[in-house]
């Protein structure tokens, strides 16, 4: 009987040690995440230099908004469709079909993450963005940044052949990403995660790339007399 009680007591002690160890780890993890979250909030606040016309760099706000529009989803989708109607070469059809699909893929990925995370935008943000929908109320990740990073890789990989053009589109993508924080639209972590997510999106899409023959086969009933 005594040995049985001793074994039970030892098991309880071991169990209590494990629980206390786990609780200590959870407390440290929560403390670390809280400090990280506060740092993100503080940096986002400090770098929102164009959030309003009265901000420290408020005179640059029109330029930041121009960068914002330059990476908006609607102009990119409409522009892709318009250019597609005008092209005649099979290789152009392949590029434009895949550009359209990767833009849609980006919208789906960003929308799903925004719905799951549901992080609010910075308090300093002024909701005067061009053509927004309800999901744009959420901040994580930055959709403009995912699109900019994805498009930069797309263009340098599939379209541009000169270093100057490649560098230019990369600089544009970085400028778009920076403008999201400067305008107070997003937290720093939203933009950092968005840039990585955009690169990952393109990497994944490359596995699903629609080859030229399939693009022409799909479009033959409609545009065969133009493109072939």
Catalytic residues: 144, 186
Q: In this structure, is the dihedral angle defined by the CA atoms of residues 30, 31, 34 and 36, taken in order, positive or negative?
A: negative
Sequence-ordered list of residues with C-beta below 8 angstroms from that of 157, at least 6 positions apart, any chain? 202
Q: In this structure, is the dihedral angle defined by the CA atoms of residues 120, 122, 126 and 131, taken in order, positive or negative?
A: negative
How far apart CA 94 and CA 18 sit, in angstroms, is 58
Q: What separation in angstroms does the CA of 59 have from each of 18, 47, 51, 117?
A: 58, 15, 10, 33
């Amino acid at each position: 009987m005594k040995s049985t009680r001793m074994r039970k007591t030892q098991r309880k002690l071991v169990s209590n040690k494990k629980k206390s160890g786990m609780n200590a780890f959870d407390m440290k993890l929560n403390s670390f995440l809280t400090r990280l979250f506060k740092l993100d909030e503080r940096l986002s606040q400090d770098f929102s230099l164009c959030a309003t016309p009265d901000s420290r760099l408020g005179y640059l706000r029109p330029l930041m908004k121009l960068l914002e529009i330059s990476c908006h989803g609607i102009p990119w989708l409409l522009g892709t469709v318009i250019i597609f109607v005008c092209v005649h070469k099979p290789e152009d059809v392949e590029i434009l079909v895949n550009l359209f699909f990767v833009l849609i893929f980006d919208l789906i990925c960003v929308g799903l993450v925004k719905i799951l995370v549901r992080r609010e935008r910075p308090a300093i943000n002024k909701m005067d963005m061009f053509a927004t929908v309800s999901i744009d109320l959420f901040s994580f990740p930055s959709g403009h940044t995912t699109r900019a990073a994805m498009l930069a890789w797309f263009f340098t990989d599939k379209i541009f052949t000169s270093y100057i053009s490649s560098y230019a589109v990369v600089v544009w993508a970085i400028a778009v990403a920076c403008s999201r924080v400067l305008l107070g639209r997003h937290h720093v972590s939203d933009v950092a995660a968005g840039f990585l997510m955009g690169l990952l999106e393109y990497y994944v899409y490359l596995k699903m790339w629609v080859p030229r023959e399939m693009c022409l086969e799909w479009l033959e009933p409609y545009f065969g007399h133009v493109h072939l």
